[in-house]
Amino acid sequence: DWTSDQFVEATVADLQKKLGDDKVVMALSGGVDSTVAAILIHKAIGKNLHCIFVDNGLLRKGEFEQVLDSYKHMGLNIKGVDAKEKFYTALAGLTDPEAKRKAIGKTFIDVFDEESHLLTDVKWLGQGTIYPDIIESVSVKGPSVTIKSHHNVGGLPEKMKLKIVEPLNTLFKDEVRLVGKTLGIDPNILGRHPFPGPGLGIRILGDITADKVRILQEVDSIFIGGLREHGLYDKVWQAGAMLLPVQSVGVMGDERTYERVVSLRAVTSTDGMTADWAHLPYEFLATVSSDIINKVKGVNRVVYDISSKPPATIEWE
Ligand code: XMP
């Protein structure tokens, strides 16, 4: 029978044998898979694992600093790279969802490539690929293929001639969490909702600007913070907010306003392939809605998405 203790012991021994004194470079995302994979490899080869965490300017509010801090606490050899402006420049004026994904993916590869070349003698590329990623990449619709190219930083291995090491590629998500627990990783990190590689870039419908990112970060932070405060965070699979390319009329005092609309999205699911909208309590939605409208300048209307997948998707783009 599979146990996470045995898995950790056997995998660390395998990695030591396979990697020897070689250097490994790896991009971390703050997500569960890449974190668990990195800690496993780190346990095997220590400082020979070089991690890179890129701020693409599309992360949640405060996420870059928080995640970087927690990686440092875990003892990882990690470099945070602020590439916000590069991403905003690459995205300027783009409105098509796939064009935005491509621009984000390409910019990511450029940044990662540049950073990796600052390291000498790297032989391996570490990745947090899990078993369902492998199955998913050969099935369904377009965006999944794109997902792979982001997750697995497609194109890099050929270009850099790196061999790939992916210690979690036989595991399912729940097994990854168990392994993470065995490795002593913070439960807050292991329990994190999935978050797409292109981040808020695909939750700002239409073109992306730093100002829109700031607005959406505030909205998202109130929503996610509210879910945590009300004990609802662990009851949903994934949650977030979409900034719609729509303005609506509102009223404040004697003034008419004409401002942005945001849609909140929270779903229940077991694998993200199908999902139902989360039946969040009305009182909670009321609190979050008035918090958002009162605190976030530029937003005067909040709606809640009650579509299930299929036929809708979890993200709006
Ligand atoms: P959809 O919107 O297709 O999303 O129902 C299913 C899951 O995949 C995530 N997602 C992505 N993840 N790059 C990623 O890394 C992407 O381009 C991407 N698009 C969707 C989504 O957040 C959900 O967890």
Instruction: Take atom 21 of ligand 1 and give the residue whose Cα is closest.
Output: 196
Contact 111, 153 (CB under 8 A): no
Q: Model confidence over 94-115: pLDDT tens digits? A: 999 999 999 999 999 999 999 9
Q: How confident is the model at residue 158 (pLDDT cuts 50, 70, 90)?
A: low
Q: Strand, helix or coil at 23? A: strand
So what's the pLDDT on residue 134? 85
* Contact of 220 with 61, CB cutoff 8 Å: yes
Q: Which amino acid is at 22?
A: D
102 Cα to the center of ligand 1, angstroms: 14
Annotated binding residues: 29-35
* Per-residue pLDDT tens digits for 37-93: 999 999 999 999 999 999 999 999 999 999 999 999 999 999 999 999 999 999 999
Is the pLDDT at 147 greater than 70? The verdict is no
Residue nearest atom 16 in ligand 1 by C-alpha distance: 147
In ligand 1, which atom is closest to the CA atom of 101? Answer: 17
ipTM: 0.99
pTM, to two decimals:
0.91
Closest CA to 280 of 270, 292, 290, 268: 268
Q: What is the mean pLDDT of residues 154-175?
A: 81
Single-letter residue type at 302: V
Q: Which residue has the tokens 């065995």?
A: 182
| pLDDT of 142 over the 90 cut | no
Is residue 160 very low, low, confident or very high in pLDDT (cuts 50, 70, 90)? low
pLDDT score of 33 more than 70 = yes
Q: How confident is the model at residue 156 (pLDDT cuts 50, 70, 90)?
A: low
Q: How far apart are CA 301 and CA 23, in angstroms?
A: 51
Protein residues with CB under 6 Å of any ligand 1 atom: 101, 143, 146-147, 150-151, 194, 196-198, 238, 272, 309, 313-315
Distance from residue 311's CA to the centre of ligand 1 (Å)? 15
Which protein residue's CA is at the shortest distance from atom 14 of ligand 1? 196
Q: What does the pLDDT read at residue 146? A: 39
Out of 100, 151, 193, 314, mutate this one to test ligand 1's pocket (max ligand atoms within 8 Å of CB): namely 314
Mean pLDDT over residues 125-154, rounded?
61
Kindly report the three-state secondary structure assignment for every residue of 66-89: HHHHHHHHCCCCEEEEECHHHHHH
Distances (CA, A) of 295 to 196, 304, 305: 26, 18, 21
Domain extent listing, the chain: 4-190, 203-304
What separation in Å is there between the alpha carbon of 139 and the centre of ligand 1? 14
Task: Name the architecture of domain 4-190.
Answer: 3-Layer(aba) Sandwich (3.40)
Nearest CA, atom 11, ligand 1: 196
CA distances 189 to 192, 262, 284, 293, 300, Å, are 5, 27, 24, 29, 33
Got the DSSP string for 119-188?
SSSEEEEE----HHHHHHTTSS-HHHHHHHHHHTTTTHHHHHTPEEE-TTTT--HHHHHHHHHHTT--HH
User: DSSP label at 312?
Assistant: S
Assess whether pLDDT exceeds 80 at residue 163. Answer: yes
Atom 9 of ligand 1, nearest CA residue: 196
Choose which CATH entry (3.40.50.720, 3.30.300.10, 3.10.20.30, 3.30.470.20) describes domain 203-304. Answer: 3.30.300.10
**What distance in angstroms lies between residue 198's CA and the mean position of ligand 1's atoms?**
9
- Give the whole-number percent of the chain exceeding pLDDT 90: 89
The string of DSSP codes covering 173-201 is HHHHHHHHHHTT--HHHHTPPP--TTGGG
Q: pLDDT value at position 269? A: 96
Whether the domain at 4-190 and the domain at 203-304 fall into the same CATH topology: no
Per-residue pLDDT reduced to its tens digit, 183-228 = 999 999 999 999 999 999 999 999 999 999 999 999 999 999 999 9
Q: In angstroms, how far is CA 143 from the centroid of its own chain?
A: 15
Report pLDDT for 138. 55
Structure confidence at residue 161 (pLDDT): 82
Cα–Cα distance, 297 to 33 (Å, whole number)? 35
Find the length of the chain: 317
Instruction: Please identify, by atom number, the ligand 1 atom nearest to the C-alpha of residue 316.
Output: 2
Instruction: Tell me, in angstroms, the distance from the centre of ligand 1 to residue 147's CA.
Output: 7
- Feature table: binding site for ATP: 29-35
